[in-house]
């Protein structure tokens, strides 16, 4: 089965906490030289986009780093779209229309992800309140 044969680099990282009994291999055949666009500016855009697009059948890996055939197809599609003059937004929309938000490594800002983006700031505000409170009390004490 296509999706189970391809194993990815980050799967190996699972030994960071020692995983068991998995067959792993490291294939370093990510983006290939033949895929590169002639225009370096366009190529840079393509690389940037591919680094934000998840390899769907891998674990936490972008299509830029993946050797999966689907990742390669997507890289080629992204480059074709760039040469055809699509904007980055159009390309991301093309991808999410087909694969959902799951394909974006950088989650978009919308209702389901509001908490994800806002909570770090709320944490930050709480920290500032704590500091202020401590500071105020210290003046009272003295």
Partner 1 sequence: MRKFIFISPIIVFFCIIFIFLYLLITKSDPSELPSALINQKAPKFETLSLLSEKNFLYEKEFNHDLKIVNFFSSWCIPCSAEHKYIDLLSKEKGIKIIGINYKDDPKKALQWLDNLGNPYSDVAIDSNGDIAINWGVYGIPETFIVNYNNIIQYRLAGPITKKNYEAFYQQIIKNK
Partner 2 sequence: MASTLGNSALWLSFLFSILQFIVSTKNINSIIIFNRIAVTGLLTSTLASFFLLMYCHVTSDFAVINVFQNSHTTKPLLYKISGVWGNHEGSMLLWMLVLSITNYFIFKLYSKNNSIFVSKTLQIQAVITIGFLLFILITSNPFERMSTIPSNGLGFNPILQDPALAIHPPLLYIGYVGLSAVFSLSIATMNLENDEGTPWYIYMKPFVVAAWTFLTAGIALGSIWAYYELGWGGWWFWDPVENAALMPWLLSTALLHSLITVERKKSLQAWVLLLAILAFLLSVIGTFLVRSGILTSVHTFALDPTRGIYILIFIGLLGSYSLILFALKSKNFLGKNYFSFFSREGSILVNNLIMVIVCGSVFFGTTYPLIVEIFTSNRISVGEPYFNATVIPMIIPAILVMGIGPLLSWSKVDSKKTLKQILPSILLTIIIIIIFFLSYRTYNIPGLVGIGLASWIISNVLVTLFLNIRKESKKNNFAISSFLKHFNSMIIAHLGVGLLIIGITGSSVWQEEKISRMKVNDEKMISNYNVVFKEINEVAGPNYLALRGSFWIYNQNNKIITVLTPENRIYPITKNTTSEVSIHTNLLRDLYIVLGDGDNDNGWVVRIYHNPLVVWIWIGVLIIVIGGLSALKNNLNILRLRNL
- The footprint of partner 2 (CB under 8 A) covers 3-4, 9-34, 36, 51-52, 54, 56-57, 59-60, 62, 65, 100-107, 112-113, 115-116, 119-120, 123-124, 126-127, 130-131, 134-135, 137-141
User: Minimum distance between the CB of residue 142 and partner 1, rounded to whole angstroms?
Assistant: 22
Task: Quote the CA–CA distance of 134 and 10 in Å, as a whole number.
Answer: 43
Stretch that binds partner 1, among 15-23, 36-44, 91-99, 132-140 (CB under 8 A): 91-99
> CA 109: distance to chain centroid?
14
Nearer to partner 2, 77 or 119 (CB): 119
Assess 69 for contact with partner 1 (CB under 8 A): yes
Which residues are CB-neighbours of 85 under 8 A, at least 6 positions away?
Answer: none
Long-range CB contact pairs, 73-78, < 8 A, 24+: 74/50, 75/31, 75/35, 75/46, 75/50, 76/35, 78/46, 78/49, 78/50, 78/53
Q: Which residues bind partner 1 (CB under 8 A)?
A: 1-3, 56-57, 69-70, 73-74, 77, 96-100, 102
């Amino acid at each position: 089965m296509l999706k189970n044969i391809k194993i990815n680099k980050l799967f190996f990282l699972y030994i960071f906490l020692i995983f068991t009994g998995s067959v792993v291999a490291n294939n370093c055949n990510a983006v290939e030289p033949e895929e590169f666009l002639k225009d370096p500016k366009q190529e840079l855009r393509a690389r940037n986009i591919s680094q934000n697009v998840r390899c769907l059948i891998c674990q936490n890996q972008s299509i830029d780093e993946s050797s999966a055939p689907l990742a390669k197809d997507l890289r080629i599609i992204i480059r074709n779209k760039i040469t055809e003059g699509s904007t980055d937004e159009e390309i991301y929309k093309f991808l999410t229309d087909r694969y959902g938000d799951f394909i974006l490594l950088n989650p978009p800002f919308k209702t389901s992800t509001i908490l994800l983006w806002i909570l770090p700031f709320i944490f930050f505000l709480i920290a500032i309140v704590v500091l202020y409170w401590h500071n105020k009390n210290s003046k009272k004490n003295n």
